């Protein structure tokens, strides 16, 4: 699999700053993307999603950007808080399959 043997990169940000977490997805046919947050010892929690017919989608304090040309996805978190500290994964899938493929993940550390 594409994630075997990889270790999580870490992003450290000051509390109150904005965070940008990036993800490169693998399948140009993927048409639905999701960002998940995973806290230690827990399962992933949905944050925000975006379909391939959109470039940007905003939620509460979070924004997802999709660049299909370079197969890149980003998650922006505004005014990062200590509770945002977690590992963030992007996932991709395409119509006709139920499978989600998870990206490598990024550990976000919020510094007080």
Beta strands in the chain (DSSP E): 10-14, 19-24, 32-38, 45-51, 56-58, 62-67, 72-77, 86-93, 101-102, 106-111
* CB closer to another protein, 19 vs 36: 36
* CB closer to another protein, 42 vs 112: 42
Q: How far is the CB of 77 from another protein (least distance, A)?
A: 17
Q: How far is the CB of 44 from another protein (least distance, A)?
A: 5
Per CB under 8 A, residues contacting another protein are 1, 3-8, 32, 34, 36, 41-46, 49, 89, 91, 93, 98-105
* CB closer to another protein, 16 vs 59: 59
Q: How far is the CB of 7 from another protein (least distance, A)?
A: 5
Q: How far is the CB of 102 from another protein (least distance, A)?
A: 5
Q: Sign of dihedral through CA atoms 3, 109, 52, 49? A: positive
- Per the CB < 8 A criterion, the answer to whether 74 and 18 are in contact is no
Six-digit token pair at 26? 């693998």
């Amino acid at each position: 699999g594409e994630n075997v043997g990889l270790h999580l990169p870490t992003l450290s940000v000051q509390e109150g700053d904005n965070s940008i977490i990036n993800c490169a997805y693998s399948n140009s046919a993927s048409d639905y993307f999701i960002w998940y947050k995973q806290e230690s010892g827990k399962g992933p929690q949905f944050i925000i999603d975006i379909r391939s017919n959109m470039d940007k989608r905003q939620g509460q304090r979070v924004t997802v950007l999709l660049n299909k040309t370079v197969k890149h996805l980003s998650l922006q978190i505004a005014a990062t808080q200590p509770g945002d500290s977690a590992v963030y994964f992007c996932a991709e899938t395409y119509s006709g399959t139920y499978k989600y493929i998870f990206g490598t993940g990024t550990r976000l550390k919020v510094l007080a």
